[in-house]
Amino acid sequence: MNRWNVREIAFYGNGGRRRTLEFDTDKVNVITGASGTGKSAIIDAIDYCLGSSDCKLPFFVRNHAEAVAVHWTQGDSDLIVGRKIPKAGSGTNQMYVRSGRNLKLPDTSEALEGPTNRDTARALIEKTFGIQDTDNPAVAAKAEKGRATIRDIPPYLFLSGDVIISRETLLHDLNRPEKARDIKATIPYFLGAVDQASVLAARTLRQLEAALAKIEREASAQERSQSLLTQRSMALLTQAQGVGLVAELPSPDASDKLLLDQLAGIASSGVASTDTRDSEARAVMEDERRGLVSELQTLRAKRQMIKQTIREATGYETAVSGQSHKLRLVEHLKLDDGRCPVCDAQNSAGQAMAEQIRNSLSIVANEVLAVDGMRPRLDDHSGHIENLIGSKYSRLKEVEAQLAGLVRVEEESVKTGSLLQERARVVGRIDQFLETTAKDFQTASTDTTSLVSRIEHLRDRVDPQARRERLRDAENMVSAFATEMLVDLPTEVPATGSRVVFSSAPNLSLVEPSRRAVLAMAEIGSDQNYLAIHLALAFSLQKLFETIKAPVPGLLVIDQISRPYYPKGGDEKRLREMEKDDDQVAMQQIVRFLFDETARQAGLQVILIEHAYIEEDPEYVAAVKGRWTKASGVKLIPSDWPLRN
């Protein structure tokens, strides 16, 4: 046996009581019987001992059993996981984990060894099963999204009653939103498309890319803010010049630091500055503004002409490209041997014709070269004009802001009639600007060199293309396995003869054979079809896990393959109790599939929970580990167990 199977499940009660279920490894095991005997609690017990946060064991079990333990085995290796059962509410945090060789379940719950908390128990089970990297504290952190844990394997172990004939739910727990997220995030790991390191690298990569995008957005906003800072600083300096607080304006190319320093100097000097107003300042700015407007008009006209030229060149390029194909004639015509290219005779008329063809081909070749050389120069010139327009437009906005400041100063000076008062107002505006707005704009730039380097390194490690290819390969393998298995199971149209298409979304569809229509799960119809599809998928995933050595136990716990054929509830059912002969044949066909497919897959164990007792099949009868019927009175928890303390 090369995969983990369940050897025993034990329930512990008061007074040293123990109820033990024993199973054969690498085989089909059947527990059959009546409803209400606790058969379905086998799934709940295994799930609970895999570290579930919830305890879904039935009320009767909780009232009479105080602990449960599962004995796993792989060859000569053993793993015993035990856990206290709460009377009500969520699962207990106290667990017991012990691994080694030749281990046996203790007789009482008090003798369970390896007490620990639930998180540590999960990590120990993960390490035993082979879920990688559990020794790394960063990897083992519960908050890591997408990291596979022991809680992500139940969907591949259990075909529970709410799933096995469901038209909507493909895997166990996939119908629970809080579980579906983790199933979807970790399925690439279990399908062998990624390892734990690449899962975490991909998560870190997403975080770093988001951080870089945020820095770039902030840098872009800062750049826009710096442009606004320049405009406001120049406007204030223009106002200061207008009231004689500064002799001349700085250069349009002056840095923001120089502008702010000059404003700070004005603020510190206050209103006592000498009147150094230049009466020509406004006239100079008006002249510059008119010049900029004129230049912009000229540049825009040039831009329009260049666009028209590019459009015409594009049309000409299309025509010349068509003619360029004529150059290929040179490969077929012998124009240099003195013979006529039409009749292959050697005469003067033929030579003249060859010369004309050569001339024509030369013209076409020159046209192609001319077009190829002209287009890049046109594009470069167009880009140059666009850059000039942007530069001139930015300067125009600065000049207009400065003019607006001068006009405002003059208007306010007229109103107040006092230069000193106007200077005080300008100095006040500068003070307020330096104390508030300018400080908001002054943010330290962030060096992203190291961040970009880390992102590039992680992108190399994640290799999304290789991940997609490995994932696609796994999907194709599961689809092929399931298609083959579906042939061995009883189905109805449209599932009969259909091809299974599995996606790691996870999702499944069928391609029916007659019209090759792609059918979603909800469109397939018939409980018998849904039963066949779920069985084929469950066994196909287990076959893939065996092939790629995935860290998933070789276990399938199946809750009633007879659901489409028997009414719900009641006592143990016999094959002859089915109303239709076709249903009896279908039931026997499914049983054969279970035994044959389990035998084909090395290390696979099946625990079948059933109402049906198929006494017509000797192999089925031999696989029965318990018949919990109303007549026998046998149950998961014996009726004579006392209530727990």
Mean pLDDT of 185-197: 81
Least confident range from 117-121, 172-176, 193-197, 548-552: namely 193-197
200-234 tens-digit pLDDT: 666 677 777 787 777 777 666 555 545 677 777 78
Burial label for 172, CB within 10 Å (0-12, 13-18, 19+), is buried
Q: Is the model's pLDDT at 97 over the cut of 60?
A: yes
Report the 3 state secondary structure along 585-597: HHHHHHHHHHHHH
Q: In angstroms, rounded to a whole number, what is the distance separating the alpha carbons of residues 202 and 198? A: 6
Q: Which of 219, 182, 218, 223 is nearest to 199 (CA)?
A: 182
- How far apart are the C-alpha atoms of 534 and 380, rounded to whole Å? 63
- Positive/negative CA dihedral, 511, 516, 519, 524: negative
Residue range 607-622, pLDDT digits in tens: 999 988 999 899 999 9
Distance in angstroms (rounded) separating the CA atoms of residues 496 and 511: 10
pLDDT band at 29, cuts 50/70/90? very high
Question: What pLDDT shows up at residue 276?
Answer: 45
Range 344-369 average pLDDT: 67
Average pLDDT over residues 341-370: 66
List all residues 6 or more positions away from 183 whose beta carbon is below 8 Å from its beta carbon.
152, 155, 171, 173, 174, 506
Amino acid at 119: D
Residues 609 and 39: beta-carbon distance below 8 Å? yes
Mean pLDDT of 537-562: 94
Give domain status of residue 359, yes or no: yes
Q: Residue 107 pLDDT > 60, yes or no?
A: yes
Q: What pLDDT digit, counting tens, does each position of 64-76 carry? A: 999 999 999 999 9
Reduced to 3 states, what is the DSSP secondary structure of residue 427? helix
Q: Quote the pLDDT of residue 345.
A: 64
**Which position has the higher pLDDT, 508 or 375?**
508
pLDDT at residue 317, as a whole number = 61
Q: pLDDT band for position 142 (50/70/90)?
A: very low
pLDDT at residue 410 in the model = 67
Any alpha helices (H) in 277-347, and if so which ranges?
Answer: 281-324
The type of residue at 577 is: E
Tokens, residue 563: 């659901």
What integer is the mean pLDDT of 14-21?
A: 92
Residue 199 in this model has a pLDDT that exceeds 70: no
Q: Does 9 fall in a domain?
A: no
The proportion of the chain whose per-residue pLDDT surpasses 90, expressed as a percent, equals 37
What percent of the chain lies above the pLDDT cut of 70? Answer: 78
Facing residues of 70 across strands?
9, 81
Output the pLDDT for position 257: 73
Determine the structural domain holding residue 337 and report its residue range.
Answer: 219-441
> Own/partner pairs for 104-107, CB < 8 Å, 24+ apart?
104/71, 105/8, 105/10, 105/18, 105/20, 105/69, 105/71, 105/80, 106/69, 107/16, 107/18
Specify if 295 maps to a domain.
Answer: yes
Question: How many other CB atoms sit within 10 Å of the CB of residue 100?
Answer: 12
Is 393:385 a contact under the CB 8 Å cutoff? no
Question: Tell me, what's the pLDDT at 295?
Answer: 87
Q: Regarding beta strands 555-559 and 605-610, do their DSSP bridges make them parallel or antiparallel, or are they unpaired?
A: parallel
So what's the pLDDT on residue 310? 78
What are 508-533's pLDDT values in tens digits? 999 999 888 999 998 998 899 999 99
Mean pLDDT of 51-57: 91
Residue-level pLDDT at 566: 75
d(Cα 575, Cα 596) in Å, to the nearest integer?
20
pLDDT score for 134: 38
Mean pLDDT of 400-421: 69
Q: Is residue 246 part of a domain?
A: yes
In a domain, 41, yes or no: no
| For range 188-197, the mean pLDDT | 80
Could you tell me the pLDDT band of residue 487, with boundaries at 50, 70 and 90? very high
Average pLDDT, the chain: 81
Q: What is the pLDDT of residues 561-574, one digit of tens each?
A: 988 887 666 777 88
Number of structural domains, the chain? 1
Q: Where do the H-state alpha helices sit in 25-117? A: 41-48, 59-64
Q: Is 444 a residue whose pLDDT tops 60?
A: no
- The pLDDT score that the predictor gives to residue 178 is 83
Has residue 275 been placed in a domain? yes
* H or E segment to which residue 535 belongs: helix 527-548
DSSP label at residue 434: I
Query: pTM for the complete prediction?
Result: 0.62
Asked if the structure places residue 20 within a domain, the reply is no
Cα–Cα distance between 621 and 30 in angstroms, integer?
8
| Residue linked to tokens 């390969």 | 473
Q: Which pLDDT score, from 0 to 100, does residue 193 have?
A: 83
User: Most confidently modeled of 30-39, 210-219, 396-405, 412-421?
Assistant: 30-39
Report the run of H or E that residue 97 belongs to, with start and end.
Answer: strand 94-101
- Of 146, 264, 138, give the one whose Cα is nearest residue 195: 146
pLDDT, residue 70, reads 97
Q: Is residue 376 part of a domain?
A: yes
Distance CA 322, CA 595 (A): 69
Sheet with 158-159, side-by-side order of all strands: 158-159, 555-559, 605-610, 28-33, 624-628
Q: What is the residue-wise DSSP string for 238-276?
A: HHHHHTTS-SSPPPTT--HHHHHHHHHHHHHHGGG----
Q: Strands of 518-520's sheet, edge to edge?
A: 499-503, 507-511, 518-520
Window from 387-391, 463-467, 510-514 with minimum mean pLDDT: 463-467
Residue 291 CA: distances (Å) to CA of 285, 286, 348, 390, 399: 10, 8, 68, 15, 11
| Predicted pLDDT of residue 446 | 64
**What are the pLDDT digits (tens) for 279-332?**
456 777 778 888 888 888 888 888 888 888 877 777 666 666 666 555 555 545
Res 299: pLDDT = 86
